[in-house]
Amino acid sequence: MPRPLLEIQNVTMKFGNLVANDDVSFSVNEGEIVSLIGPNGAGKTTLFNCISGFYKPVSGKIIFDGKDITGKSTHEITLLGLTRTFQIVKPLKEMTVKENVLTGAFLHAKNKKEAEQIAQKVLQTTHLWEKKDMLAGSLTIADKKRLEIARMLATRPRMMMLDEAMAGLNRTEVKEAMELCLMLNRDGITLLIVEHVMEAIMPISNRVVVLSAGKKIAEGSPEQIINNEEVIKAYLGERYYAKSRQANSRI
């Protein structure tokens, strides 16, 4: 039986009268790659903020590895092994790539030497070793997103939540980001991915959860989701039809 690592139970989050997450429930099993998709404003980032301790949901529960983490601080949640990246990348611009990764490594490292060892391994895994002495602010957007992942990876997570890690990347960079996701997953990290780049996440996801206007409207295998009428109407339709129109106009 698959074991749920993260369980979202009836989570509701409101901003004033706006219901950003409306009674959302789903779980992510250990070892899975699950994608969370949906139109702009569907509540994806808000849900990440609730899970990672930036917001306390109005109601509902979030369970990680059997422990209730609802309302816990981001620090406590990171210590338990659950971490996230941000839709708007926030590297410490005036610090080097390596120094950025060290800030993550110090979460568990007992001393500087150990932190350096963790940072080195993470920089090599994420192909940032050559750029370790560059200022984070001078990196390309693709490398900034990669650094964001590296910083989180240095905290030795069991599960990572990626918020639009592929937005703004070109085709080659998207492919590299997909490969990085698969590699992290092979290394035992469970992934929950928010992404609009369908052609990148559909092939790598075990399951897909769809939010629209705060509500979960579907959940299933990538194949079930791309053929789901409600999902096509709420989200995929415009994307796929716009794409096929573009393709047709080129013929």
When computed from its CA atoms, the radius of gyration of the chain, rounded to whole angstroms, is 18
Stretch of 3-11, 56-64, 82-90, 141-149 contacting Mg ion, by CB under 5 A: 82-90
35 binds Mg ion (CB under 5 A): no
Binds 57, which of ligand ATP, Mg ion, none (CB < 5 to 8 A, cut-off by type)? none
74/48 Cα distance (integer angstroms): 11
Type of residue at 205: S
Binds 141, which of ligand ATP, Mg ion, none (CB < 5 to 8 A, cut-off by type)? none
90/179 Cα distance (integer angstroms): 22
Q: Which residues pair with 191 in a beta bridge?
A: 33, 160
The residue (of 54 and 129) whose beta carbon lies closer to ligand ATP is: 54
8/159 Cα distance (integer angstroms): 14
In the complex, the smallest distance separating the C-beta of residue 54 from Mg ion, rounded to whole angstroms, is 13
How many residues bind Mg ion (CB under 5 A)? The answer is 3
In the complex, the smallest distance separating the C-beta of residue 19 from ligand ATP, rounded to whole angstroms, is 9
The residue (of 49 and 83) whose beta carbon lies closer to ligand ATP is: 49
Cβ neighbour number for residue 75 with a 10 Å cutoff:
10
DSSP-assigned states of every residue in 163-208: ESTTTT--HHHHHHHHHHHHHHHHTT-EEEEE-S-HHHHTTT-SEE
The residue (of 64 and 235) whose beta carbon lies closer to ligand ATP is: 235
Closest residue to bound Mg ion by CB = 45
The residue (of 127 and 196) whose beta carbon lies closer to ligand ATP is: 196
45 binds Mg ion (CB under 5 A): yes
Residues lying near Mg ion in the complex (CB under 5 A): 44-45, 87
